[in-house]
């Protein structure tokens, strides 16, 4: 009787099948990690947008006279300009840099303070090339503030909308909430002052 030889261990085919299964599993883990990072970054951007929207709402509450006078209105096509120094003894200051130590060297009126608030706030939304350089919190960020009444009065509703290109696809649509892929992502809050 002839004796049959039995091979022990894995054959080459079994090794290749095991390698393919492990490779597919590792690719799935990498895809899961990439999706998690993308979703986490989207949540981060939404948080930043909410932060800047509530930041300007708080600034408006603190400067109620200017908000009621309509000094906090922002159109997306005309971002706020740098504040200028009000006429005062020894001008050359503005509402951003007129502090010395813990006291205010010269005071700004409500309209000048609103202009300074908007300039700083919009720079955090969309960035500013300088000086000083301010990095944008949101990619392709833009913002609007609109009063529901004309003219604004105490008790008027103010709509604050912050938009950004979350997917960085070059979206430019302004529907809020977004209605298709061409629309920017947005956060909208309504405050009554």
What are 29-77's pLDDT values in tens digits? 999 999 998 889 889 999 999 999 999 999 999 999 999 998 898 886 6
The answer to the question of residue 145 being in a domain is yes
Cβ count near 127 (within 10 Å)? 17
Q: Which two tokens mark 78? A: 């005309």
Q: Which helix (H) or strand (E) holds 103?
A: strand 103-104
The answer to the question of residue 5 being in a domain is no
Domain count, the chain: 1
Residue 85 has pLDDT above 50, yes or no: no
Residue 83 has pLDDT above 60, yes or no: no
Do residues 93 and 85 lie in contact, with contact meaning Cβ atoms separated by under 8 Å?
yes
The answer to the question of residue 34 being in a domain is yes
**Range of the structural domain that residue 59 is part of:** 14-192
- Give the list of residues 6+ apart from residue 160 with CB closer than 8 angstroms, or none: 53, 56, 57, 143, 144, 145, 188, 189, 190, 191
Q: Looking at residue 9, what is its pLDDT? A: 63
For every residue of 54-97, DSSP letters joined together read HHHHHHHHHTHHHHHTTTT-BBTTBPPPPP-PPS-TT----TTT
Measured distance CA(126)–CA(184) in Å, rounded:
14
pLDDT confidence tier of residue 95, bands split at 50, 70 and 90:
low
Do residues 25 and 91 lie in contact, with contact meaning Cβ atoms separated by under 8 Å?
no
The pTM (predicted TM-score) of the whole model is 0.72
pLDDT confidence tier of residue 88, bands split at 50, 70 and 90:
very low
Q: Helices 110-126 & 12-62, crossing angle to 10 degrees?
A: 170
Cβ count near 20 (within 10 Å)? 10
Measured distance CA(56)–CA(69) in Å, rounded:
16
The answer to the question of residue 72 being in a domain is yes
The answer to the question of residue 58 being in a domain is yes
The 3-state DSSP class for residue 48 equals helix
The answer to the question of residue 62 being in a domain is yes
Q: Degrees (nearest 5) of the Cα angle 182, 126, 50?
A: 80
The answer to the question of residue 162 being in a domain is yes
The answer to the question of residue 3 being in a domain is no
- Give the list of residues 6+ apart from residue 80 with CB closer than 8 angstroms, or none: 74, 115, 118, 119, 121, 122
């Amino acid at each position: 009787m002839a004796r049959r030889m039995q091979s022990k261990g894995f054959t080459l085919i079994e090794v290749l099948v095991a390698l393919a299964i492990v490779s597919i599993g590792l690719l799935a883990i990498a895809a899961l990690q990439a999706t998690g990072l993308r979703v986490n970054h989207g949540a981060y951007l939404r948080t930043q947008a909410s932060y800047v929207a509530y930041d300007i709402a708080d600034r408006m509450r603190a400067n109620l006279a200017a908000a009621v006078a309509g000094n906090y209105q922002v159109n997306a096509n005309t971002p706020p300009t740098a504040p200028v120094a009000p006429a005062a003894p020894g001008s050359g200051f503005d509402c951003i840099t007129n502090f010395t130590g813990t006291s205010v060297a010269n005071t700004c009126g409500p309209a000048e303070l609103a202009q300074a608030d908007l300039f700083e706030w919009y720079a955090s939304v969309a960035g500013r090339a300088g000086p000083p350089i301010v990095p944008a919190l949101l990619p392709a960020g833009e913002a609007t503030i609109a009063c529901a009444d004309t003219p604004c009065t105490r008790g008027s509703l103010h709509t604050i909308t912050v938009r950004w290109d979350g997917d960085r696809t070059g979206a430019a649509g302004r529907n809020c909430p977004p209605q298709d892929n061409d629309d920017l992502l947005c956060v909208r809050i309504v405050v009554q002052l």
